[in-house]
Amino acid sequence: MGNSHAIILAGGSGSRLWPLSRTLRPKQLLPLDGEQTLLQQTARRLLKHVDAGRLLTVTHQDHKFEVKGQLAEVDARLPAAVLAEPCARNTLPAIAWAVWEIFKQDRKAMIGVFPSDHAIGNEQNFLSAWRSAELAAAAGYLVLLGITPHEPATGYGYIQPGESLGLDAVNPVLSVSRFVEKPDLENAKRFVDNGYLWNSGMFVFRAGDFMQMLEQHQPEIHRAITSMRGTADVEASYEELPNLSIDYGLAEKAKKVAVVPVAMNWSDLGSWESIYQHRGKDEAGNVSHGDVLSLDTQDSLLWSSNSLLATIGVSNIAVIQTADATLICDRSRTEDIKQLVVQVQKTHPHLTETHLTVHRPWGTYTVLEEGPRFKIKCIVVNPGAKLSMQMHNHRSEHWVVVSGTAKITNGEQEIQLEPNQSTYIPKTHRHRLENTGTLPLQIIEVQCGEYVGEDDIVRFDDTYGRT
């Protein structure tokens, strides 16, 4: 349709895929189903039906710059349409904010809402179902895409479909009889036998109809969202919004709700077991990623993100290896990883927050070594990017250029450094690092001082608005 819009929801934390997925690097920002990240795959998929100027993304404030950077690699117009929530409030407030932004421009907009962290193997079936859903939405329905189940899964909600709406659509469009929360195995088997569908979390509706439903069923959210006039209003009122999903807050209350059944090789990739089931296997039934060597190993998920991972004489296990943490468990226990993460948060909280390589809007830094009173980093600055003008109260820094050309502000001095050249930055000196070249700038930074935490930073000027 000519007025089709799409919203990407990119605000999840993804603790069930620890140690690869972490608070500041959740699963939608990871390449779990190919070379591109799940977010990038989602954006490319949606651009086959909507123009880049009509694709809006909602994410968390902590992920804003990484989301913008990844979307820029898909289409240069996408970063301008990223909304950053100051705090997580579930799917309904996020969707309501995005719909309101679209509604102000086009009250008749046809909107599809899609999670950023799902895998879809059959894109043609997905696009066909989306178009069929738009036909029902044009008749005033709130429409879901319902996945035709291939097993009695207990990790998804279910939809009981009703009678056909009789629309002239490629895919059948059915009324919704009821929604069911995640069931136990016995009920899941019964649901599959009786033609229930998995709830994919994908919705299609007209902007005006959504705003009317929101005002009727969630007037508090409607009032808050429509009162927002800028960033200050969002920050002031967002935390007060109720924590509500669109399923509970609207779909289960609305009168005109429909579902489009679709089989599209879909997975929410919500656990390591679901990743194992989704990906191709070798002749021994193993899924391997990265530098892996296995002997006499069967039916296992072997994932290495850095160094060699070797196994011998094991079966039905998941081994996930990162630079600073390794998970080993029986494949049948991958759903329990959330419990393990709670324990890790108590004993090693940094291992649930970030990786050794941390992404910033200007590039990345990797912690190579650290101890009392020192930290060593490898810093990579993207072409044309620069760090904030900053200072540290408790540490000094030594910078050595490895490759590229560095433009450095050090106190009152401004200097250019080439590979093998260095500079010393005393504590409390204002300083800035900039890459004015066309190739990545790589430096080694050695920090020394009584405190080398990341929060010892005072920013005076920042291209990315972090002052």
At 239 the pLDDT is: 86
Helix (H) or strand (E) holding 127: helix 123-138
At 226 the pLDDT is: 93
Asked if the model's pLDDT at residue 70 lies above 70, the reply is yes
Q: Which architecture characterizes domain 4-267 according to CATH? A: Alpha-Beta Complex (3.90)
Q: What is the pTM of this model?
A: 0.90
Q: Find the mean pLDDT for residues 398-422.
A: 96
Asked if the model's pLDDT at residue 1 lies above 70, the reply is no
Residue 463: band (very low, low, confident or very high) from pLDDT cuts 50, 70, 90 = confident
Write down the domain spans for the chain: 4-267, 272-347, 357-460
How many Å apart are CA 189 and CA 354, to the nearest integer?
Answer: 39
Q: Record the tokens describing residue 310, joined without a space.
A: 């070797």
- 1 vs 108, residue with greater confidence: 108
Percent of the chain with pLDDT over 70: 99
CB 401 within 8 A of CB 445: no
Q: Find the mean pLDDT for residues 243-252.
A: 94
Mean pLDDT rounded to a whole number for the chain = 94
Tell me which residue has tokens 């349709």: 1
Q: Find the mean pLDDT for residues 413-431.
A: 96
Q: Find the mean pLDDT for residues 124-139.
A: 97
Asked if the model's pLDDT at residue 119 lies above 80, the reply is yes
At 405 the pLDDT is: 95
CA dist 309 to 31, 275, 278, 295, 327, Å? 19, 18, 21, 11, 12
Asked if the model's pLDDT at residue 291 lies above 80, the reply is yes
Residues 6+ apart with CB under 8 A from 123: 45, 48, 264
pLDDT (tens digit per residue) in 188-240: 999 999 999 999 999 999 999 999 999 999 999 999 999 988 777 888 888 88
CA angle 320, 324, 330 (to 5 degrees): 25
Task: Tell me which DSSP letter residue 405 carries.
Answer: -
At 78 the pLDDT is: 96
Q: What is the per-residue burial (b if ≥16 Cβ within 10 Å, else e) of 281-300? A: eeeeebbbbeebebeebeeb
Q: Which of 170, 167, 177 is nearest to 136 (CA)?
A: 167
At 249 the pLDDT is: 94
pLDDT (tens digit per residue) in 309-350: 999 999 999 999 999 999 999 999 998 999 999 999 999 999
At 168 the pLDDT is: 86
Q: Find the mean pLDDT for residues 260-265.
A: 96
Q: Which of 156, 246, 143, 162 is nearest to 198 (CA)?
A: 156
Q: Record the tokens describing residue 5, joined without a space.
A: 């819009």
At 386 the pLDDT is: 95
Domain covering 357-460, topology: Jelly Rolls (2.60.120)
Residues 6+ apart with CB under 8 A from 333: none
